[in-house]
Amino acid sequence: MRADKKQITRLLNTAKGQIIGIIKMIDDDKYCIDISNQLLAVEAIIKKANQEVIRAHLEGCVKEAIANGEDSHQKIDEIMQTITKMSK
């Protein structure tokens, strides 16, 4: 993986901390909308981490594969499948 591992790890650790907090909110019977807002915040962090991984893949693996004459169609298909999953 060529993504900035420190940044990805930081983002995921932040999400992990928020999830632990959300579980506590649920255990403490906090207001549903407050819980939902925290879930949305975690979702945004995970999306950001995934975007960074995809960006690194495009700038590294895909760029290198094309430069080395590998089948660019396969790489494009992989990216399109991932984008489709992300947009659901």
- Domain holding 62: CATH number? 1.20.58.1000
Show the domain range for 55.
5-86
pTM (2 decimals)? 0.82
pLDDT at 48 over 80: yes
Is the per-residue pLDDT at 70 higher than 90? Answer: no
Residue 76 pLDDT: 85
pLDDT at 16: 99
**Count: domains in the chain:** 1
Across the chain, mean pLDDT equals 92
Q: How far apart are CA 39 and CA 35, in angstroms?
A: 6
Q: What percent of the chain has pLDDT over 90?
A: 61
**Count of alpha carbons within 13 Å of 20, Cβ hemisphere only?**
6
